[in-house]
Amino acid sequence: MYMIKANIAKNRLYITLGKMADTDIRGLVKEITHCAGSLKPGFTCLVDIRNMDITYSEKQMFTMELIMGGLIDAGMSKVVRVVSKKNKISQMKMEQGSRALGYRARPAHTLEEAENILDEEELRRADHES
């Protein structure tokens, strides 16, 4: 299970990951590529992994790392990852993948907290640019 959407007004990509099978990977990559393509460089990303399956296969984790690398290449700036207080294994796997690619995702425990972090970051950037 996954859901991908882009908010063009906020220049933000939303990714929700849950239980997935290897057969879901192609659709996931296609949707992320499509949605990220509609955003401008410097876009932010909110990733919700609270319901991510902790038994992701090596193929799925490799694909996640490819997606993260592709998003960096597409101009992703900041990432906030909504994590479960109970599911530390998925959080660790995703964090290892992002660190290997040279970035860190800031953790949050609710969607509202994640939105606030990214919105505040956008305000700071806008103030800095003006």
Q: How confident is residue 47, by pLDDT bands cut at 50, 70 and 90?
A: very high
- pLDDT higher at 18 or 4: 4
Q: Where are the domains of the chain?
A: 2-129
As a whole number of angstroms, the distance between CA 31 and CA 28 comes to 5
Residue 54 has pLDDT above 60, yes or no: no
CA angle 24/18/5 to nearest 5° reads: 75
What mean pLDDT comes out for the span 36-61?
83
pLDDT at 57: 67
- Can you name the CATH fold of 2-129? Transcription Regulator spoIIAA (3.30.750)
Q: CB within 8 A of 50, min separation 6: which ones? A: 82, 83, 84, 87
Asked if 57 and 25 count as a contact pair (C-beta separation under 8 A), the reply is no
At 60-106, the pLDDT tens digits run 777 777 888 888 888 999 999 998 877 666 566 667 666 666 677 88
For 33, the token pair is 């590529």
As a whole number of angstroms, the distance between CA 108 and CA 84 comes to 9
DSSP reduced 3-state for 69: helix
| pTM score of the predicted model | 0.83
For 113, the token pair is 């907290």
